[in-house]
């Protein structure tokens, strides 16, 4: 007669429990970190989209103005009768040179409350290095480069350049 020895059931040892707990902790930590980085990246992308929208909106407004002062003054910047802080007094594109606002304002000067933390600034300069297509003569003082810069805090999120000629 053969004697059958019953199999012993064995549970998890203390070492196996510790190792599995460490593996689980590392996996959870890695997934939480990845989720946090994803959320940060998504927020940064949303801020860049907003900054580009703000830059495009202001550039469209600026480009609706004439190339030069109605009286013919070729100087860059605000002229007499215009207030550098109030853009409703502007009457040509170079009046926007040096203009800054935070938070952004609409074209009537009303604060755009949904954009707290953002700022916009504008530079307008004559660009005499602009090369026109062959056969098109652009003399000095006939091309202006407009740059709109949008920041959130200290971070520059968008820069938009446009060129305008006197010959629209």
Judge whether 145 and 39 are in contact, CB under 8 Å: no
Domain count for the chain: 1
Instruction: Give phi and psi for 141, each to the nearest 5.
Output: 85, 10
Let me know if residue 116 belongs to a domain: yes
What is the reported pLDDT for 89?
83
Which residue range is the domain that position 42 belongs to? 27-165
Let me know if residue 92 belongs to a domain: yes
Q: From first to last of its 168 residues, what are the pLDDT tens digits of the chain?
A: 666 666 666 667 888 888 889 898 888 888 888 777 777 777 888 999 999 999 999 999 999 998 888 777 767 878 777 777 778 888 889 889 998 999 998 888 889 888 989 999 999 998 877 666 666 656 656 788 999 999 999 999 999 999 888 775
Let me know if residue 9 belongs to a domain: no
Let me know if residue 7 belongs to a domain: no
DSSP string covering 45-86: HHHHHHHHHHHHHHHHHHHTS-SS-TT----SS--TT-BTTB
Let me know if residue 2 belongs to a domain: no
* Three-state secondary structure call for residue 2: coil
Does the reported pTM lie above 0.75? no
DSSP string covering 3-21: PPPPPPP----HHHHHHHH
What is the reported pLDDT for 157?
94
What is the reported pLDDT for 137?
59
Let me know if residue 17 belongs to a domain: no
Let me know if residue 34 belongs to a domain: yes
Let me know if residue 142 belongs to a domain: yes
């Amino acid at each position: 007669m053969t004697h059958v020895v019953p199999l012993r059931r064995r549970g998890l040892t203390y070492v196996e429990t510790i190792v599995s707990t460490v593996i689980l902790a590392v996996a959870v930590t890695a997934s939480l970190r990845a989720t946090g980085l994803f959320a940060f990246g998504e927020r940064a992308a949303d801020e860049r989209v907003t900054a580009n929208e703000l830059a495009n909106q202001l550039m469209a407004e600026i480009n609706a103005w004439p190339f030069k002062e109605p009286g013919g003054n070729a100087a860059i910047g605000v002229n007499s009768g215009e207030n550098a802080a109030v853009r409703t007094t502007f009457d040509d594109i170079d009046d926007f040179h040096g203009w800054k606002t935070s938070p952004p304002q609409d074209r009537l000067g009303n604060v755009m409350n949904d954009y707290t933390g953002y700022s916009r600034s504008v530079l307008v300069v004559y660009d005499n290095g602009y090369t026109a297509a062959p056969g098109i003569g652009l003399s000095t003082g006939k091309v202006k480069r407009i740059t709109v810069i949008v920041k959130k805090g200290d971070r520059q999120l968008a820069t938009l350049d446009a060129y305008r000629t006197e010959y629209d």
